[in-house]
Amino acid sequence: MQRPCPTCGRVIAGPREALPHRPFCSERCRLIDLRSWLDEEFRISTPLYAIAEIDDELAPS
């Protein structure tokens, strides 16, 4: 597997088992991402109740 770290962009490669911080390249990048969520720099754009309503509409009767 070879892909960029979502925080710093560094390309990481190797099997999943060898990448303990996947999808991040390091503990530092993982914590930077967590801090961004906690500081509300990132947010989910669609309210969760709207997603639940869509799921209810698509569920078989």
Structural domain boundaries enclosing 43: 2-58
Residue 18 pLDDT > 80, yes or no?
yes
Q: In CATH, what number is assigned to the domain containing residue 42? A: 3.30.50.10
Q: How far apart are CA 7 and CA 40, in angstroms?
A: 16
Model pLDDT, residue 6:
95
Q: What is the pTM of this model?
A: 0.66
Model pLDDT, residue 37:
93
Residue 31 pLDDT > 90, yes or no?
yes
Q: How far apart are CA 21 and CA 3, in angstroms?
A: 13
Total count of domains within the chain: 1
